[in-house]
Amino acid sequence: MTNRDILHPMAQFATWHLNGVCIPISSSSTPTEIDYLVKNSGADMVVCHNDFVKMFDSLKEELNLPVFNLSDEDINLQTKSLLSRHAPVLNAKQDAMIVYTSGTTGNPKGVVHTHSSLEAMMNSMEEAWGWTKHDHICNILPLHHVHGIMNVLNTSLWAGAQCTLIPKYDSRAVWEILLDEKDGVDLTVFMAVPAIYNKMIAHYEEDGMHERAHEIKAKLKNLRLMVSGSAALPETSFNKWKELTGHTLLERFGMTELGMALTNPYSDIKARLPGHVGKPFPGVKMALFNQET
């Protein structure tokens, strides 16, 4: 369990080096949720930041569960960015990660992904969205769901690109990063959920950013791709974002169970239509069934 900081990929890669399976848990989980996830997954140990170690006290005693906690001094959190395509030699068929569903229809279900299924996801997104080692993305999404952990963090590192981890979402700070006004971050790719785009639109309007409209659009030309996913993007948000930034958001569709399935086109921007999620990713096949009720 971590915040969105460098401890997360460190723990993930260390686990894989030891031929283990990663089970990411949100730092905002309740004690009841943590109890369920740890017991349901059959976790052998917990790695967490010092800030969260007390959340595992009861499980540590009940299950005799080893809890390894790290402090800021241990992991040098001042290193905000990662640049790597290094990976251990792994068995493609071996289980790599258990990602839990959102649990909207009952208890969350643990979805097991092998190293080969993760590799397939990353290769597919790398091809469809033109990832290269020259790209730079910031992650503002939770790292216990596919969107943040696979689409942003792991795929960027797989492509040899740079990923800057943003520990806590703040609309003003994210606008500063997008406009290259904070820490010298010059992004080429950005991904978020509709709720975040709506918050950023609201901040734009409330903070009087209209006065800088021409400058903002000029600076955002450096970004080659902006993606929205994990929920349906309202057409009003799609159009408003294009009006404010000049960017036509690329919508896509995926699931915890299979990763990314459908995407609007990367190259043909005019074919990105509001309310549409496009065609299958490379390596993905889609079938439509007319089921009679």
Is residue 118 domain-shared with residue 53, that is, in the same domain? no
Domain assignment of residue 67, given as a range: 1-79
**Gap between the Cα atoms of 242 and 239, Å rounded:** 5
Is the CB of residue 165 less than 8 Å from the CB of residue 6?
Answer: yes
Name the residue among 161, 105, 151 with its Cα closest to residue 128: 151
Model confidence, pTM: 0.89
Give pLDDT, residue 170: 93
Quick check: is 30 in a domain? Answer: yes
User: Does residue 44 belong to any structural domain of this protein?
Assistant: yes
CA distance 168 to 190: 16
Residues 210 and 273 in one domain: yes
Whether residues 68 and 194 fall in one domain? no
| CA-to-CA dists, residue 198 to 82, 155, 191, 201, 228, angstroms | 28, 25, 13, 5, 11
Q: In this structure, are residues 130 and 182 in contact, taking their beta carbons and an 8 Å threshold?
A: no
Indicate whether 102 belongs to any domain: no
pLDDT interval class at 75 (50, 70, 90): low
Round to whole Å and give the CA distance between 12 and 75.
14
> For residue 87, is pLDDT > 60?
no
Residue 229 in any domain: the answer is: yes
> In terms of domains, do 14 and 122 share one?
no
Tell me the mean pLDDT in the region 200-206. Answer: 96
Q: How many domains does the chain have?
A: 2
CA–CA gap between residue 197 and residue 62 (Å, rounded): 42
The gap from C-alpha 263 to its chain's centroid, in whole angstroms, comes to: 16
pLDDT tens digits, 122-143: 999 999 999 999 999 999 999 9
Q: How far is CA 84 from CA 2, 156, 161, 169, 191, in A?
A: 20, 9, 7, 24, 20
Residue 293 lies in a domain: no
Domain of 217, CATH number, reads 3.40.50.12780
Neighbours of 81 (CB within 10 A): 13
- DSSP state letter for 148: I
Q: Which of 6-10, 30-34, 285-289 has the highest mean pLDDT?
A: 30-34
Q: Let me know whether 65 and 153 are in one domain.
A: no
Contact 81, 164 (CB under 8 A): yes
Does residue 17 have a pLDDT over 50?
yes
For residue 289, being part of any structural domain is answered with no
